Amino acid sequence: MRSIILPLAALALGACATVPLVAVPATAVRGDGLAGLGETTRVGKLVVTPRILVEDSRCPINARCVWAGRAIVRADVTGPGWRETLDLTLGHRLGTHGTTLTLTSVEPGKTAGVQTSPQRPMLFGFEGGG
pLDDT in tens, the chain (130 residues): 555 544 444 444 444 333 343 333 456 888 899 999 999 999 999 999 999 999 999 988 888 888 888 999 999 999 999 999 999 999 999 999 999 999 999 998 767 776 654 567 899 999 998 6
49: in domain: yes
9: in domain: no
20: in domain: no
Residues in the chain: 130
Residue 35 CB partners (closer than 8 Å, separation 6+): 41, 48, 49, 50, 123, 124, 126
107: in domain: yes
16: in domain: no
Tell me the residue range of the domain where 124 lies.
25-129
56: in domain: yes
Judge if pTM exceeds 0.85.
Answer: no
Distance CA 83, CA 87 (A): 13
36: in domain: yes
19: in domain: no
